[in-house]
C-alpha cells in the first residue's frame, strides 16, 4: 500500500491518539473545522442534517443522541455529519434547560399539569416504575420543542452554508481565471 505505515500502530497507541491528539488540540480542532467546511452536500442537506441533530438533542436519551441523529438525518435526507454536529447543541449547560422545559411541556400535554414528579429514592431509581413518570413527559415534550428548535436552526444554518459555498465557488473561479 502506498500510504501505509512501516510499522502498524498498536491498539493502545490508536486509543491514546483518539483520546489525546498527537500534535495539539488547536491543530486537531482546525482540521475538523476544515473538514466540515469541505462538506460537499447541498445547503438544504447540511441544514436539514443540523436540524435533525438539534431535534434529537432535545430528547432525554443521552447515550443515543449520535445514533438517533444519524438515523433521523438519513431518513429525512440530510447530511449525517451535520447531524452529528447538531447534537453538540445539547451540552452540560443546555441539558438542564432542555430537561426542565420538555418535562413541563410534556406534563401539560399529558394533562398532569406542571409540578415535581414523586420519586422514591429508597428504591432503585432505574427501575421502570420509578423512571417512566419522568421520561414519558420529557419524551413527549421533546417533540414540539425539538421541532421548533430544529426549524429555527434550519432557517439559520441554510443561508449561512449557502453564502459560504457561494463565496468559495466564486473564489475558485477567480483562482482558475488567474491561473490562465
Digits of tens for pLDDT over the chain (180 positions)?
Answer: 567 778 888 888 877 776 677 777 777 667 755 666 667 789 999 999 999 999 999 999 988 999 999 999 999 999 999 999 889 888 888 899 999 999 989 989 988 765 566 656 566 666 666 777 888 899 999 999 999 999 999 999 899 888 888 888 888 777 777 776
142/54 Cα distance (integer angstroms): 11
Encode burial over 98-131: b for 16+ CB neighbours within 10 A, e otherwise: bbeebbbbbbeeeeeeeeeeeeeeeeeeeeeebe
Contact, 96 vs 138, CB < 8 A?
Answer: no
Domain that holds residue 105: 44-179
Contact, 50 vs 69, CB < 8 A?
Answer: no
**Does any domain span residue 4?**
no
What per-residue confidence (pLDDT) applies to 75?
96
Helix (H) or strand (E) holding 70: helix 65-76
What per-residue confidence (pLDDT) applies to 163?
86
**Does any domain span residue 54?**
yes
How many distinct structural domains can be found in the chain? 1
**Does any domain span residue 105?**
yes
**Does any domain span residue 115?**
yes
132/121 Cα distance (integer angstroms): 14
8/56 Cα distance (integer angstroms): 38
What number of CA atoms fall less than 13 Å from residue 65's CA on the CB side? Answer: 25
What per-residue confidence (pLDDT) applies to 76?
95
**Does any domain span residue 15?**
no
What per-residue confidence (pLDDT) applies to 142?
95
What per-residue confidence (pLDDT) applies to 33?
58
What per-residue confidence (pLDDT) applies to 180?
67
**Does any domain span residue 10?**
no
136/79 Cα distance (integer angstroms): 29
**Does any domain span residue 27?**
no
Residue with cell 436552526: 153
**Does any domain span residue 16?**
no
147/101 Cα distance (integer angstroms): 14
What per-residue confidence (pLDDT) applies to 138?
92
Amino acid at each position: 500500500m502506498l500510504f501505509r505505515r512501516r510499522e502498524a500502530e498498536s491498539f493502545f497507541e490508536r486509543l491514546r491518539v483518539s483520546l489525546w491528539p498527537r500534535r495539539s488540540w488547536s491543530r486537531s480542532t482546525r482540521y475538523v473545522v476544515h473538514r466540515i467546511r469541505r462538506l460537499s452536500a447541498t445547503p438544504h442537506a447540511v441544514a436539514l442534517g443540523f436540524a435533525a441533530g438539534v431535534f434529537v438533542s432535545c430528547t432525554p436519551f443521552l447515550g443515543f443522541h449520535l445514533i438517533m441523529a444519524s438515523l433521523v438525518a438519513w431518513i429525512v435526507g440530510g447530511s449525517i455529519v451535520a447531524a452529528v454536529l447538531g447534537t453538540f447543541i445539547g451540552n452540560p449547560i443546555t441539558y438542564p434547560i432542555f430537561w426542565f422545559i420538555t418535562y413541563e411541556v410534556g406534563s401539560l400535554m399529558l394533562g398532569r399539569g406542571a409540578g415535581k414528579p414523586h420519586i422514591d429514592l429508597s428504591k432503585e431509581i432505574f427501575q421502570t416504575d420509578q423512571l417512566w413518570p419522568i421520561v414519558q413527559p420529557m419524551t413527549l415534550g421533546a417533540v414540539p420543542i425539538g421541532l421548533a428548535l430544529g426549524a429555527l436552526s434550519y432557517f439559520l444554518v441554510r443561508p449561512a452554508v449557502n453564502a459560504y459555498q457561494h463565496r468559495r465557488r466564486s473564489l475558485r473561479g477567480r483562482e482558475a481565471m488567474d491561473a490562465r
